[in-house]
Amino acid sequence: MSAKQKPTKTSGSSSGLYKADSVKNPQDAAEALGITNLPEPVASALASDVEYRIHQVIEEASRFMRHARRTTLTTSDIDRALRVLNVEPLYGHSAYTTPVFRRSLPYPQLASAGPVYFVEDEEVDFERVLREEKLVLPPSVRWTAHWLAVEGVQPLIPENPPAVPRDDPSSAALGAAASDKRAGQQAALVKQVLSRELQLYYARLTTSILPSGTGAADPTKRIAALASLRHDAGLQLLLPYLVRWVGEGVVGVLHDGAQDDASGRTLEVLLDVISALLENATLFVEPYLHQILPPVLSVLLHSSLPQMHSTHLRKSAASALARVLKQHSSTYPSLAPRIMKTLLLALLAPERGPGTRLGALRGLIGVGKEAVRKGILDAGGAKALGAEPGVAGAVFEALAVLHPPSERPVPLVPGNPDDAQTAERLREVLGDFFAERLMSDASWARGVLAEA
């Protein structure tokens, strides 16, 4: 914006805010600021400058008014004009509450004073105010102290939730067994969160897989229930309850320590449920891995499983463990090392029984070739096991994972220096028991040593 030249005023001009021969208002303003005895020439110059500044503000404000396509000048136009002129605006005046000015009657005693304008006060009708509906303000926030419990007993006051009635101990003693109580608690928990349809599905699914009490299981219903777990897409809400149900079932069977056929079949069915949940591509299983792995590892590494089902149970648990690592080891990089550490401790600890070591071997075989190499060769698992009964067959299966045996084996020749060196290396890595048996297949022995 180009600067405007100040209009020069002649001494005889009478236009403007102040008359040329009147300097009373600038002198009054100076006295209000504590400046006394202001000379008349200075007061006249100040009056001229104030007139120029007010004209400049009004002209800038009128530009904003015209750009807004209005014919009334508002306080917001004045504020914008002051900001353009780099002057602090006047606060406390809003364009939405435009005051109404009225012109007062002229004073006969002082005709030269000119017209005077004032803001008209609004008249309030008390009768109308009294007839209007009054708004009731809400009470302010308050707080009070009360006892949640006194010596373990919750007081029956309105601030505390109602007490839950307890069952009669005498009737509870005549109820079902401990497993039935856990199932009832699980069902009560399900009812609090799930819809009625999912509650019905959960009840029928669990009873079809493992009937409660002494009822016989229907193989057709069990197969249909497992197929539903493998393929249905609406089971995400049921997933935590199913995982918990499987975990409690495995803990209950292993804690009882029964070696009968029913316990073995129950564990097989529970492992089938875990495998079905892992095979369902629509389920988000990752948040529940910490609940899935304990029952799988418990079955795999338990020392005394039912004799007729022990081999199948350990292979099923190893297969489930391998599926977990295959699907989720990329998301959780620490998952595979932690499982490997658990299996190696179970394999190499001297106080572990043959069943636990056999399960650890099955787990290493299920995890893969790298796990077998670390457990059997690098950690000296084969050398530590030696001729332990019931475990040698699993060790040979693990060695077959490293390198398959030959269809037509050719033994090592003791007189050949290379074969003698290979035999010596076999004894160092695998121990005497397994080295003597691998000497009958030279190709298998060299393949195993190549992985060491």
Please determine, for residue 64, whether its predicted confidence score (pLDDT) is greater than 90. yes
Residue 146 CA to residue 160 CA, distance in Å, equals: 9
Angle at 268 between CA 264 and CA 270, to 5 degrees: 115
SS3 377: helix
Contact between 80 and 65 (Cβ < 8 Å): no
In tens, the pLDDT along 124-140 reads: 888 888 888 777 788 88
Question: What interhelical angle do 289-301 and 261-279 show, nearest 10?
Answer: 140
- The half-sphere exposure of 266 on its side-chain side, counting CA atoms within 13 A, is 28
Please determine, for residue 8, whether its predicted confidence score (pLDDT) is greater than 60. no
- The half-sphere exposure of 116 on its side-chain side, counting CA atoms within 13 A, is 11
Please determine, for residue 175, whether its predicted confidence score (pLDDT) is greater than 50. no
Question: How buried is residue 262: exposed, middle or buried, by Cβ count under 10 Å (0-12/13-18/19+)?
Answer: exposed
Q: Which two tokens stand for residue 331?
A: 């998301």
- Of 239 and 8, the structure prediction assigns the larger pLDDT to 239
Which domains, ranges and CATH numbers included, belong to the chain?
24-100 (1.10.20.10), 178-404 (1.25.40.770)
User: In the chain, pLDDT over 90 holds for what percent of residues?
Assistant: 9
pLDDT at 380: 77
Task: Count CB atoms within 10 A of the CB of residue 125.
Answer: 8
DSSP-assigned letters across all residues of 93-118: --TTSPPPEEEPPPPTT-GGG---EE
pLDDT at 444: 81
Please determine, for residue 329, whether its predicted confidence score (pLDDT) is greater than 70. yes
pLDDT band at 63 (very low <50, low <70, confident <90, very high): very high
Please determine, for residue 170, whether its predicted confidence score (pLDDT) is greater than 60. no
Residue with tokens 């290493």, as numbered in its chain: 364
Question: Which residues face 119 on adjacent strands?
Answer: 101
How far from the centroid of its chain's Cα atoms is residue 91's Cα? 48
Question: Which residues face 118 on adjacent strands?
Answer: 102
pLDDT at 97: 66
pLDDT at 351: 79
Please determine, for residue 159, whether its predicted confidence score (pLDDT) is greater than 60. yes
Contact between 74 and 62 (Cβ < 8 Å): no
Backbone φ and ψ for 358, nearest 5 degrees, come out as -65, -40
Q: Go through the chain and tell me how many residues it has.
A: 452
SS3 150: strand
Q: Which two tokens stand for residue 165?
A: 């009635």
Residue 35 CA to residue 47 CA, distance in Å, equals: 16
In tens, the pLDDT along 255-304 reads: 887 778 888 888 999 999 999 999 998 888 888 888 999 999 998 888 88
- For the whole model, what pTM was predicted? 0.55
Dihedral angle computed from the Cα positions of residues 119, 122, 123 and 128, in that order, rounded to the nearest 10 degrees: 180
In tens, the pLDDT along 384-432 reads: 777 676 777 788 888 888 888 888 888 887 778 887 888 888 888 888 7
Please determine, for residue 58, whether its predicted confidence score (pLDDT) is greater than 90. yes
In tens, the pLDDT along 81-114 reads: 999 999 887 776 666 666 777 888 777 776 666 7
